[in-house]
Amino acid sequence: MIRFIFIFLLFLNNPTSFSQDVVHTAILPNSMFIASASLQRMDIFSGFTYQQNFKRIDVGTSFNLGLRSTFGAQQVYSQFGSYLTYPLIQQGAKKRDFSFGPMLGVHASFLNIGNKLRQYDILLGYSMYCGKTKGNLKFFHQAGLGPFAEYFRTSTNTLVQSYALNYHLTIGLAYAIY
């Protein structure tokens, strides 16, 4: 009888005492290809980004075209960028992946109107992505705010410099590679 009570209490205390405890380990993507659209102070940009995910930091590089200038004014308005993200919250659950953290970004834009127009900005903001764990498509979002510098030469070859505050709001669809 004592054996029966002992076994009964053991099962009552922990119903899975004789099974293994299954811990779900997070499998986060190693890298992502991202197609995105970005709203900025000077134009609306669309382009592609490649992001490499390391253990403690995510590094991304991007190439974008300004839509209004490139297609509306028939002037190629290209933008090259790079960013670093430190994922504060990075988890892979049974159904969803999620990553969120502060982001530091740098962009350089070039527009050829008469004399070349150059624009540079540094952004501080956040970056995040989320999506299903078993699927390769993820939702991607970034937002940032920072200083903006613009340089161009006038028809009299005078250098004009302008400084302002710039913002970036980016959304995109990422293809994750595990």
Query: What is d(CA 70, CA 35) in angstroms, rounded to the nearest whole number?
Result: 18
Residues in a beta bridge with 148: 121, 164
Average pLDDT (65-79) is 82
For the chain, give the mean pLDDT: 84
List of E strands, the chain: 31-40, 44-53, 58-66, 77-85, 89-92, 96-113, 115-132, 137-153, 159-177
Structure-model confidence comparison of residues 90 and 169, the more confident one: 169
Q: Which domains does the chain have, with CATH numbers?
A: 33-177 (2.40.160)
What is the pTM assigned to this prediction? 0.77
> Quick check: 166 and 121 in contact, CB under 8 A?
yes
Share of the chain above pLDDT 90, in %: 52
